[in-house]
Amino acid sequence: MPARLEISSATFRGNVRAVAERIAPSELMLVMKDDAYGHGLNWAAAQGLAVGVRWFGAYEVPAALRIRAAAPEARIFAWATSSREEVAAAIRADVDLGIGAHDYLRRVVAEARSACRPARIHLKIDTGLHRNGIRPEDWDDVVAEARRAEDAGLVRIAGVWSHLGEASDADDDDARSVFTAAGDALRAAGGTPEHRHLTASAASWARPELRGSLGRIGAFCYGIRSADGPDLDGVAPAAALRADVIDSGADGVRIDIGALDGLPSTLAGAAIGDRSARIVRVDRTWTEVSSSEELRPGDSVTLFGPGGVSATDLAEHIDTVGEEILTRISPLVPRIYT
Ligand SMILES: *Cc1c(COP(=O)(O)O)cnc(C)c1O
């Protein structure tokens, strides 16, 4: 069998339930960027719906539209700054838009006017990351403009949100103060947002005081733990990358997955699998593995996932996050759902 990503629906659904219970009464927004962290967007949407997920996070509009096709009733949040055409399509499909810049607010209002249909928006305050987000000094002006558009029936301000740096608890506490002040200013200007959302996986899980009414959670739902983070109660990796031994070499054996299929070539030396194996090197088209046990052609090797190390264990070996290991697995590697 060729290399494949084996994905357990039962494990994923269990994770989603565990996360939802953990963060209640905050509601879960299941984040599905990068094709649901490499697991497959359509599959993840169907599984989420099956366990009662009502909010999905898409990042970009094309993905939001795909989720809409699978989930006609769900709320879907897309926060990438998007083109006029994409904004128009999002308004037609009833997708909630994240607004992190004044210009972008104007674009969305203009598209809502053309569509004769209000856009549902969530205003993003910059709480310190300095990426996308309205700066605190500009907040009141943007809020005033958004409120005028709301009074004119062009937008509905459905939420206020931000993203945490998670560099330290103290930084996140500072971010929370800025976030709270922004929400208060919106309400003082007559806004009535349904939702406040600030936290992703790690802070939603560990810091209840930072949770708003929604938690935007990706990694933990897929069972990807944080770098240097603990294992999580009730949460397990949903995906395993497995490949079969194709032949034996001097250093070890070759398996049929290589850098072109998405394994970073810098992973040499990383421990893998259930047979105390180690990656010797990752070449263009194959991966060489050494093992304390004898591996034979046809034997299957677990690169990561249940039966082996976790994606985050591999990621720590090359100073990145587990999400990146998953999202770098090429779409050419078949996803096998059980
Ligand atoms: C990726 C992302 C999330 C989800 O983060 P996880 O750590 O995977 O839970 C939430 N919000 C935003 C804005 C994101 O980009």
Question: What's the CATH code of the domain at 319?
Answer: 2.40.37.10
216 lines ligand 1 (CB under 6 A): yes
pLDDT interval class at 129 (50, 70, 90): confident
Domain co-membership, 204 together with 56? yes
The number of the ligand 1 atom at minimal distance from the alpha carbon of 79 is 13
What distance in angstroms lies between residue 164's CA and the mean position of ligand 1's atoms?
Answer: 9
What integer is the mean pLDDT of 39-58? 98
Which residue range is the domain that position 79 belongs to? 9-222
CA dihedral 226, 231, 233, 239 (to 10 degrees): 70
Which residue among 157, 191, 222 closes a domain? 222
Residue 2 in domain: no
pLDDT tops 80 at residue 268:
yes
The number of the ligand 1 atom at minimal distance from the alpha carbon of 219 is 8
Domain co-membership, 287 together with 157? no
Domain co-membership, 204 together with 254? no
Average pLDDT, rounded, for the chain: 93
Domain co-membership, 294 together with 160? no
What integer is the mean pLDDT of 283-297? 83
**Separation between Cα atoms, residue 301 and residue 2, nearest integer Å:** 11
Question: Which residue in this structure is represented by tokens 């060489």?
Answer: 288
Question: What value, to the nearest 5°, has the Cα angle with vertex 265 and ends 264 and 269?
Answer: 105
Domain co-membership, 187 together with 324? no
200 lines ligand 1 (CB under 6 A): yes
CA dihedral 17, 29, 188, 94 (to 10 degrees): -130
Residue 233 in domain: no
**Separation between Cα atoms, residue 163 and residue 130, nearest integer Å:** 10
What's the domain count of the chain?
2
Residue 313 in domain: yes
- Give Rg (Cα) of the chain: 22
What integer is the mean pLDDT of 177-201? 97
Domain co-membership, 181 together with 243? no
Domain co-membership, 212 together with 314? no
What distance in angstroms lies between residue 249's CA and the mean position of ligand 1's atoms?
Answer: 42
At a CB cut-off of 8 Å and minimum separation 6, what does 250 contact? none
Domain co-membership, 280 together with 305? yes
Domain co-membership, 204 together with 270? no
- For the chain, how many residues are written? 338
What distance in angstroms lies between residue 33's CA and the mean position of ligand 1's atoms?
Answer: 8
221 lines ligand 1 (CB under 6 A): no
Domain co-membership, 215 together with 249? no
Residue 135 confidence (pLDDT): 97
- Using most ligand atoms within 8 A of CB, pick from 16, 30, 31 the residue to mutate for ligand 1: 31
The number of the ligand 1 atom at minimal distance from the alpha carbon of 217 is 9
**What is the pTM (predicted TM-score) of this model?**
0.95
Domain co-membership, 214 together with 268? no
Residue 232 in domain: no
pLDDT tops 80 at residue 38:
yes
What distance in angstroms lies between residue 93's CA and the mean position of ligand 1's atoms?
Answer: 23
197 lines ligand 1 (CB under 6 A): no
Residue 46 in domain: yes
